[in-house]
A and B are shown apart, each in its own frame.
Chain A
Amino acid sequence: DIQMTQSPSSMSASLGDRVTITCQASQDIGNNLIWFQQKPGKSPRPMIYYATNLANGVPSRFSGSRSGSDYSLTISSLESEDMADYHCLQYKQYPLTFGSGTKLEIK
Chain B
Amino acid sequence: EVQLVESGGGLVQPGRSLKLSCVASGFTFSNYGMNWIRQAPGKGLEWVAYISSGSSYIYYAETVKGRFTISRDNAKNTLYLQMTSLRSEDTALYYCARGELGNWGQGVMVTVSS
* A binding-site residues for B, Cβ under 8 Å: 1, 34, 36, 38, 43-44, 46, 49, 55, 87, 89, 91, 94-101
- Would you give the shortest CB distance from A90 to chain B, in whole angstroms? 10
> Contact at B44–A87, with CB atoms within 8 Å?
yes
> Contact at A98–B61, with CB atoms within 8 Å?
no
Number of interface residues of B (CB under 8 A): 18
Instruction: Give every chain A residue within 8 A of B45 (Cβ-Cβ).
Output: 36, 38, 44, 87, 89, 98, 101
Instruction: Give every chain B residue within 8 A of A1 (Cβ-Cβ).
Output: 62
Find residues 82-114 in chain B having any chain A CB closer than 8 Å to their own CB: 95, 100-102, 104-107
Instruction: Give every chain B residue within 8 A of A98 (Cβ-Cβ).
Output: 44-47
Instruction: Give every chain A residue within 8 A of B35 (Cβ-Cβ).
Output: 96
> Known contacts being A98-B46, A101-B44, is A44 close to B104, with CB within 8 Å?
yes
A-B contact pairs, 8 of them (CB 8 A): A36-B101, A43-B106, A44-B104, A46-B101, A49-B100, A95-B59, A95-B61, A101-B44
CA distance A34 to B46 in the complex (A): 14
Instruction: Give every chain B residue within 8 A of A46 (Cβ-Cβ).
Output: 101-102
Which of B47, B102, B107 is the one whose CB lies under 8 Å from A97? B47
| Count: A-B pairs, CB below 8 Å | 42
Most buried by B among A38, A49, A96, A101: A96
- Who on chain B is nearest to A38 by CB? B45
Which of A38, A43, A95, A101 is the one whose CB lies under 8 Å from B47? A95
Classify the secondary structure of A's interface with B.
Answer: loop
> Contact at A100–B95, with CB atoms within 8 Å?
no
- Who on chain B is nearest to A9 by CB? B44
- Who on chain A is nearest to B99 by CB? A91
Instruction: Give every chain B residue within 8 A of A89 (Cβ-Cβ).
Output: 45, 47, 101
In the complex, the 9 A-B pairs of residues with the closest C-beta atoms, listed nearest first: A96-B47, A43-B104, A94-B59, A101-B44, A98-B45, A95-B61, A100-B44, A87-B45, A46-B102
